[in-house]
Chain A
Amino acid sequence: MPSHLFDFSILASGRYHDMLLSGLWLSLQLLAVTLVLALPLAVAVALLRLSGVRILQALAWTYVEAVRNVPLLAHMLFWYFGAPELLPEDLRSWLYEHNFEALAATIALTLYAAAYMSEDVRSGIRAIPRVQLEAGRALGFGFLASMRLVVLPQALRVTVPPLVSQVLNLWKDTSIATVIGTAELMYQAAKVETATFRSFEPFAFATLSYLLVSLLITGLGLWYQHLHPARAS
């Protein structure tokens, strides 16, 4: 067996090391930005679905079902290749010259993750007894104020465990941004493979990174639950 069967030195330093690390960094950025954008959107969609106003409910339902029943890859293709066609020519070419891959990936990931999260938020809100909302209303708060001050603080706590598994899914889903050429971890791993003809080392790096971050997310979720156990109602 040749001694260079595995050559982990490419991971330790040099160009390929830098490529993989920048990929990991972009993946983490995608995760963070998407999370910050998707959470409020998810809460908004969940509130629309529980608003009691028919047309708003139908609108939110359509959004959730339309997004969840189409693979993320098709979302990515649509936002990267399909949607820009609706924009004026100048803006479109400007976008494609300015790292549109990352923006399209963020849009697709945000809309996709928010659809799933809104379902979790919705069941969290429904788990809070309705009298809580009614009590808020009886005290003179409006629908939005009672939601924000009374129901949501309780509901979001119940929602943390399912949300953690959605964050886990989101972290894994960032890899699909490869398809439109976003230079995240999976893309860089494949690029290193092509450049070095070594698949084991870059893929081992990527797999371990995905595993470690997944473990970290799971751990944070458990830690949160330990700090704030859901109250028995």
Chain B
Amino acid sequence: MLEQYGLYFLVGLYPKGPLGGLALTLLLASAGLLLAMPLGLLLGLGRISPWRALRWPVTGLVFVVRATPLLMVVFWAYFFLPSLTGVRTDRFNTMLIALVVFDAAYLAEIVRAGIQALPKGQMEAARSLGLGYVQAMRLVLLPQALRHMLPSLVNQFVSTIKETSLGYIIGLAEVSFIATQINTLVFVLPTQIYLTLGLTYFVMCFGLSRLAYWLERRLSTSPHRPAKEVTA
């Protein structure tokens, strides 16, 4: 079975047809997270903006997205967006749009927490040196905050990989959908096929969450290094 369907599981019909399977899952998750990052950064900054006219709508938006299931966002993007724009987006892009919107709301909270975890004096010191709010954010706060956010970002990537499985519901040929296709073709081995699917996700996600754990421990010890700097 592995010989017959292994390649189909990994890359779908590629190169004779569209890319699918595990490769599509990874592509979708990476593209989704990468595109969500700038949006999440902007939303996160909006969340803590001293400007109320910006802070309130952004906070509302983030809350609404976080309180609805991803599947709801997918359905809006799949069924309603085309009737609004008149353009039928393909399944990959539909899923990508939904993931970017959904992840951006979650990243916004990571960014917010990352910035708010910094001592208040950082902003005050930067402002008193004559930097404007935007410059102080860009040059002083964000470089420090982004470093602390790294483990959370890796964890968000794990969530994104898991979220891509919802592409199954709109018929996107990612790895869960391919597994079901294989199950329909083979018919007699559903237990093995779905266990293989689970194991595949496990290997990716477990590996990445270990990486996040390792990063967290490394970062929590290294950034300030008071002892070393004193002796040096």
**Which residues of A line the B interface, CB within 8 A?**
65-66, 68-75, 77-78, 81-83, 85-86, 168, 172-176, 178-179, 186, 189-190, 193, 199-200, 203, 206-207, 210-211, 214-215, 218
Contact = CB atoms under 8 A, between A and B. Distances in A.
B190 A82 contact: yes
A contact face: mostly helix, strand, loop, or mixed: helix
Contacts of A75: 198
Question: Number of contact residues on B: which range applies?
Answer: 35 or more
B202 interface: yes
Contacts of A83: 191
Interface stretch (B63-71, B116-124, B139-147, B220-228): B63-71
Nearest to B202: A69
B200 to A, nearest CB: 9
A193 B162 CA distance: 26
Nearest to A177: B71
B156 interface: no
Contact of A78 (B64, B194, B205): B194
Interface string B186-202: 00011101110110011
A220 to B, nearest CB: 14
A174 B70 CA distance: 11
Interface of B: 64, 67-72, 75-76, 79-80, 83, 158, 161-163, 165-166, 168-169, 176, 179-180, 183, 189-191, 193-195, 197-198, 201-202, 205-206, 209
Contacts of B166: 73, 176
A74 B80 contact: no
A93 B179 CA distance: 23
Q: Which of A74, A199, A210 has the most CB of B within 10 A?
A: A74
A176 B72 contact: no
Contacts of B193: 82
Given A82-B191, A199-B83, A69 B69 contact: no
Given A77-B176, A199-B79, A203-B79, A178 B71 contact: yes
Nearest to A78: B194
Nearest to A208: B68
B72 A82 contact: no
B47 to A, nearest CB: 17
Given A74-B198, A211-B64, A203 B76 contact: yes
Contacts of A176: 69, 71, 166
Given A71-B163, A71-B176, A77 B197 contact: yes
A206 B72 contact: yes
B205 A210 contact: no
Chain B CB count within 10 A is highest, among A65, A175, A206, A218, for A175
A85 B193 CA distance: 11
Nearest 10 A/B pairs, CB to CB: A82-B194, A214-B67, A69-B205, A71-B162, A199-B79, A175-B69, A172-B69, A71-B165, A73-B165, A78-B194
B195 A78 contact: yes
A178 to B, nearest CB: 6
A81 B76 contact: no
